[in-house]
Chains A and B, each alone.
Chain A
Amino acid sequence: MTGDRSRLTMILLMAPLLIWLTALIFIPHAEMFLVSMREKVGVRQYEFGFANYATFFNEPLYWNTFVRTALMSVAATALTLVIGFPVAYYIAKMTRGRSKTILFLLCLIPFWVSELVRTYGWMILLRESGLFSGLLQYVGLASQPIEFLYNDAAIMVGLVYTSMLFMVVPLVTTLDSLDDSMIEAGYDLGGTGVSIWREIVIPHAMPGIVSGCIVVFMLSLGNYLTPILLGGKDSLWFTGLIYTQFITRFNWEQGAAFGFLLLALSSFIVWAGLKLSGQTLSRTMGR
């Protein structure tokens, strides 16, 4: 009797999650998959087939963009880690009490406005008639306006800025749990700064690094606004291609196929990243 009741409780507790997963994740994806398997043969006529996936592999443009998006996302993730790690270390280990809260808040504040506003902020800074260009001219380092926008570097700046918080938070959490006495012990045992980082700090922070990297990578790969607005005419981003297929080309079949390819790509890269770093998903996400 009690067994039945606890099972019922269990089912009831699980129900919201299951309904959520089925209605909002599983069903739409299944539907989208079916759409991606439709080949258009004429006006309002469709056949079942792989043509949309074949298009992707036959047109160099599409997989070039695909690879480019993946590589730039990996680079953005690495850059975010390099910039975010010292910040997180400083917040977690060098500050105490109020100043810690304040520093954490400073990282958080940019995220109180929407991504669109943040991106426009960067556009105001980087554009030809913008702040940086004006400043350089004022100081005398440039004789004419300089365009910083509409190139890959601008995209990179935007991506790193947008995802910084998602790297810093998990890093601060894991670094917080590292007992200071372990670092002291490392010094006592004759370790140098470098060897302590390599053998104590980084191994301890590894789950944080990996989960931060996964989140930042996913956010960059799936980002739409930042590459389109900051990249201008050279912004080739795979999400942009998906948008065009759906909205301006009315080609939902192709767009759906692209969407699934992007899903496969991100899953593969995350899997490869976990394998390379020797981590498992349950270990990194469970902490």
Chain B
Amino acid sequence: MKKFTLAASLFAGAIVLALPAKAETLRLLTWGGYAPDNVIELFEKETGHKVEVTLSNNEEMIAKLRATGGGGFDLAQPSQDRIAGAQAEFDIYKPIDLSKIDASLFIDSMLESTKANTTLDGAVYGVPHVWGTDGLVLNTAQAGMVKDYIDLCSDAVAGKVSYRLKRPTLIAFAFSMDMDPFAAYGDQAKYEEILSKVEAKLVECKKNVKTYWGGGDEITNLLRSGEVIAAMAWDTGGWKLNAENPDITFVAPSSGALGWVDTFALPKRGRADEAAYAWINFVMRPDIAAMITAAAGNFTASKGGDAGVDEALKARYQASFPPEAIENINWYPPVPAGLETLEGAVLDRVNAAN
């Protein structure tokens, strides 16, 4: 019996030892541009792990993981504000083992704030990867008068405006109307009051809107063709268009751009943690981070990752974000569970209004 136990433990030990060397398949649930082919190729060559990419967005990531109870993927990249609430509600992630992450690769302040924002019951569920902002993408030759989100409702740009019908728009308009929705996150009555004012504004503004955009390519097309001249959109879309047409660019609105951080989070039933940690530590290396910035158009939380970035992109970034505009960025705090139901009802009513 003893002999058997010994043999069994030796055997088990051998398996454990063999594990790190075993090639795993990393099923990555991410955004467009965050896992470019050249990076995947380098990673596969270096570690022997395989990478399968599925492109998605915040809501779909949560919906997909919820449907499988956190299975089907080994690493997901939701925004930091959408982790704690989703975890409390649906239990779809597992805590991150911070000892397996090379903290020296991260910009300290970003790592700390993301850890704080994604902590639930003492466990950390996310570390930062890519960050960027929501703001205004304008054709400055025709819509130069738009300075803030609320100017999208002015007659000068009637019929040539686009934004998403999603929660960032509600938040943006609230800030633009001199209210602070983030401060009201904890106070439901106050938040509802803010939402009702924003709802009235968005209903009034609807006649100005050409269409509500859904995906990044859609809004890029609308701006490129000139069918839309002022939009609320991601900074990277504005910079991409700026390279083609110098009139179009990203402008940080006067009430402040909305800052988001996309993270790494481990789905609860992921099977390739080893590969997931390897991927995180790999893509946070400054040289790889620069490659991702080149593909996604957004900067990363990698320390020194901006050094290798193309000068033209840096110039666009600096033109859109003078130092005071960076100070002015409103970073999304974690969304409390249940808040989205209120926002959903508002968005539905705006959608139905004439």
Contacts and interface: CB of A to CB of B under 8 A. Distances in A.
Interface string A94-108: 000000000000000
B338 interface: yes
Interface stretch (B55-63, B130-138, B174-182): B55-63
Interface stretch (A8-16, A157-165, A244-252): A244-252
A64 B352 contact: yes
Interface string B320-354: 00000000000000000110110011011101101
B27 interface: no
Contacts of B345: 59
Interface residues of B, number: 32
B269 interface: no
Interface in A46-83: 59, 61, 64-65
A119 to B, nearest CB: 13
B210 interface: yes
A44 interface: yes
Contacts of A251: 341, 344
A64 B341 CA distance: 20
Contacts of A274: none
Contacts of A128: 225, 227
Given A43-B338, A129-B227, A232-B212, A250 B348 contact: no
Contacts of B341: 249, 251
Contacts of A248: 59, 166, 344
- The CB with the most chain B CB atoms within 10 A, among A44, A129, A232, A249, is that of A249
Interface in B167-190: none
B243 interface: no
Interface in A112-151: 127-129, 147, 149-150
A249 B340 contact: yes
A27 to B, nearest CB: 16
B219 interface: no
A241 B89 CA distance: 22
B337 A43 contact: yes
B59 A247 contact: yes
Given A233-B206, A236-B352, A150 B226 contact: no
A44 B91 CA distance: 9
A118 B26 CA distance: 35
A87 B148 CA distance: 54
Contacts of B62: 250
B88 A43 contact: yes
Interface string B156-169: 00000000011000
Contacts of A59: 345
A103 B212 CA distance: 39
A252 B341 CA distance: 12
A244 B348 contact: yes
A250 B90 contact: yes
Interface string B55-94: 0000110110010000000000000000000101111000
B340 A233 contact: no
Nearest to A61: B352
B289 to A, nearest CB: 30
B2 to A, nearest CB: 46
A129 B166 CA distance: 26
Nearest to B227: A128
Contact of B211 (A64, A65, A150, A241): A150
B265 interface: no
A150 B210 contact: yes
A246 B64 CA distance: 10
Given A61-B349, A247-B59, A232 B89 contact: no
B296 interface: no
Contacts of A129: 225-227
A236 B60 CA distance: 21
A249 B197 CA distance: 21
A14 to B, nearest CB: 31
A191 to B, nearest CB: 50
A128 B221 CA distance: 12
A249 B63 CA distance: 9
B301 interface: no
Contacts of A234: 354
B209 interface: yes
Given A244-B348, A247-B63, A248-B344, A44 B210 contact: no
Contacts of A249: 340-341, 344
B227 A244 contact: no
A149 B210 CA distance: 10
Given A44-B90, A233-B211, A248-B344, 7 more contacts: A61-B348, A127-B227, A241-B348, A244-B344, A244-B347, A250-B62, A250-B86
21 contacts: A43-B89, A44-B89, A59-B345, A61-B349, A129-B227, A147-B227, A150-B211, A232-B211, A233-B209, A233-B211, A233-B212, A244-B348, A246-B63, A248-B166, A248-B344, A250-B59, A250-B62, A250-B86, A251-B341, A251-B344, A252-B66
